[in-house]
A and B are shown apart, each in its own frame.
Chain A
Amino acid sequence: MKDMRGFEAVTGQEGKEPVSRRDFFSLVGWGGFLAAMAGVGVGSFKFYVPTVLYEPPTTFKIGPPKDYGVGVDTRWKTIGQFWVVKEDQGMYALISICRHLGCTPNWFPDQERFRCPCHGSIYDVNGNVRGGPAPRTLWRAAISLDPVDGQIIVNTAVRQDPDPKSIEGIAVFVDPEPRKVAPFYIQI
């Protein structure tokens, strides 16, 4: 095989196709170019990923349990995006973010339902979906008692989200009893 100047190309072992100098440089050139472009791509992507975040706090100290009456308490919704629900034996915190597309549902005491203004999802007090498009149940936030002053601490970054199933009458349902475990439930 001859290259363009007519020199015999360096041949390798018998029976193998030799790579001409022209092909070799072409390969190295284009390979290097593509590798550099790939590097630019990866670099641009990594540049686009924020490394430092300044986001609102997720932990709230919300006072002692005796401040809350039985039922759904909405006072923290506008501050920390969660509701405090008190039952006879315990308390839990529901995160007020609709599991459909993230709007903030409203609590209707007369209907005993949370209803979302964006796409009409309806939840009951356990967070189970009673209507509308929501695909999962409302998150429950981590809740605990401060051992020092006895106040409730809610952390909305830690969330309970069991897989729902479908039962007769409730399309998105999670049995509320097994959800009553630490750190998502406090006994009082």
Chain B
Amino acid sequence: MIDRLVKYVRDSQVWQSIFRHGYPDTDRNQSLVMFSSVLLHLHPVKIRRSALKFRYTMCLGGLSAFMFLLLTFTGIFLMFYYVPDTRAAYGNIKDITSNVFMGGLMRDLHKWSAEAMVFLVWAHMFRVFMTGAYKAPRELNWVVGCILLTATLLLSWTGYLLPWDQLALWAITVGTKMAEATPFIGYAGPWGQQLGFRVDNDIRFLLIGGTVVGQNALLRFYVLHCVALPVIITLGMVVHFWRIRKDGFSGPL
């Protein structure tokens, strides 16, 4: 009875349109699954047995990507209850941690996986360096990786402004004061004032949308954190994975 039902479903047009081949337990289907699935085709069909060794990659790059997925997932949940308004944001975070069902867990996961991602990305960079995996023909992928590293740190930085607590305010105050001290384009930096930059037209003013960290800064960082930087990091990841596939895995021959 159940077997007949399963067979009916499997033979139906709907099932056939989604799964183009049988369960991947034969060589043919194990190849087809990699070709036909958009997510799985990031992988090659076959891989050298030695490249599976944990000792070589320690799964650092893959886990960084997994952290990004987890952060996107938990971040979307948090966005449902969060308003980027200086009067509301702090209360929203309190609501999320204490009132929303599983809200505290979502925020904790978001926070700790963000910290884990920073650590994993650094560790991944270290591993890639130590195994010489950046050498020709993989130079470009190392550069893309550095961009991803920078984007990861910027995501962390824009992220901890959002709860609008003391850490948020002062970390952003300090961080954007550094921008103010940029040579040439910040008014407190070398040659900034000589080039006509003032507190209300320099790079810091653009970054926080005002002369003090306030509502505009919160909104700008919110947009950067939730839209601009994730888009950049997604594009970077696409290129990063694509190049691994094209240039080949550097693992032991």
Contact = CB atoms under 8 A, between A and B. Distances in A.
B is bound to A: yes
Contact of B170 (A50, A56, A118): A118
Interface residues of B, number: 15
A103 interface: yes
Contacts of A101: 173-174, 177-178
B218 to A, nearest CB: 13
Given A50-B216, A56-B212, A103 B206 contact: no
B30 interface: no
A54 B215 contact: yes
A79 interface: no
A53 B210 contact: yes
Interface in B163-184: 170, 173-174, 177-178
A93 B170 CA distance: 23
Contact of B173 (A53, A55, A56, A103): A103
Contacts of B174: 101-103, 118
A149 B174 CA distance: 39
B57 interface: no
Contacts of B206: 48-49
Contacts of A56: 212, 214
A53 B210 CA distance: 7
B31 to A, nearest CB: 44
Contacts, number: 31
Interface string A40-61: 0000000011100111100000
Contact of B177 (A53, A54, A55, A102): A102
| Overall SS of chain B's interface | helix
A55 B177 CA distance: 18
A72 to B, nearest CB: 22
Contact of A103 (B170, B178, B210, B212): B170
For A48, A54, A55, A101, the residue with the greatest tally of chain B CB atoms inside 10 Å of its CB is A101
Interface string B207-226: 00111101110000000000
B179 to A, nearest CB: 11
Interface string B103-141: 000000000000000000000000000000000000000
A82 to B, nearest CB: 14
Contacts of B210: 50, 53, 55
Contacts of A55: 210-212, 214
B178 A53 contact: no
Nearest to B210: A53
A11 to B, nearest CB: 47
Contacts of B170: 103, 118
Nearest to A81: B212
Interface in A83-104: 100-103
Contacts of A103: 170, 173-174
A118 B172 CA distance: 12
A55 B178 CA distance: 21
Contacts of A49: 201, 205-206
Contacts of B214: 54-56
Interface in B182-218: 201, 205-206, 209-212, 214-216
A49 B201 CA distance: 8
Contacts of B173: 101-103
A90 to B, nearest CB: 28
Given A49-B206, A55-B211, A118-B174, 12 more contacts: A50-B209, A50-B210, A50-B216, A53-B210, A53-B216, A54-B214, A54-B215, A55-B210, A56-B212, A100-B177, A102-B173, A103-B173
